[in-house]
Amino acid sequence: MELILDTAEVSEVAEIAAWGVLSGVTTNPTLIRRSGGDFIDTVCQIADLCSGPISAEVTATDVEGMLEQAHELKRILPKNVIIKVPCNPEGLEVCRSLSNDGIGVNVTLVFSASQALLAAKAGAMYVSPFVGRIDDTGEDGMQLIREIMGIWTHYPQLETKVLAASIRSTEHVIECMKVGTHACTMPTKIFRELITHSLTDIGIEKFLADWSAVEAEGRSHSS
């Protein structure tokens, strides 16, 4: 499963990229605004740190505007940047046009299996179902991931990857692994929680204590 970081903080990308596990980065206007950085400069820095696909979202809502923004972004941004568009009729039309031009597209704000399939038929490289936002309504967001992955098994010709988004916990990530989700994008906090375990910390402390004892014994024998 591709592990993708959802952030616009360059320092966070540098931190997780250093682990050697980062497959890509997703950004959106909210994350860019929160980071306080310039959009183009921020995406360029992120793309320099991670060779995987970097999702940059258009902000226009009409087909002509989205296409104009998308082609301008592809002109000025690094080659590993792909374009993120919303899952609505305009977004699907833009997705098909960009895909026909060989431009990777991440179709975002997916909340149903039918939306996911339509986006895939429109040529999306990724479809992004929002797990956490469905949970916020009282429904089970992971059920949507399970439904989509079940449908994908019936259509092996689909090349679109399912990218679970709006991840709120490590449990979400583990469940995505279990059902074979192609990719998962999550905040830095979740990445850190995935690598942390109290028994690992205890084990390291014990190894260090034992090694200190070995060194102390060696010094006593040599004196």
* Catalytically annotated residues: 84
- The answer to whether 1 touches 183, Cβ cutoff 8 Å, is yes
What proportions of the chain, in percent to the nearest 5, are helix, strand and coil? 55, 15, 30
Distance, in Å, from the CA atom of 76 to the CA atom of 4, rounded to the nearest integer, reads: 23
- The answer to whether 58 touches 69, Cβ cutoff 8 Å, is yes
Residue 151 CB neighbours (<10 A): 16
Distance, in Å, from the CA atom of 16 to the CA atom of 50, rounded to the nearest integer, reads: 10
The residues that bridge with 110 in the sheet, in sequence order, are 129
- The H or E element spanning position 205 is helix 198-222
- The answer to whether 164 touches 131, Cβ cutoff 8 Å, is yes
Q: Indicate the DSSP class of residue 62.
A: S
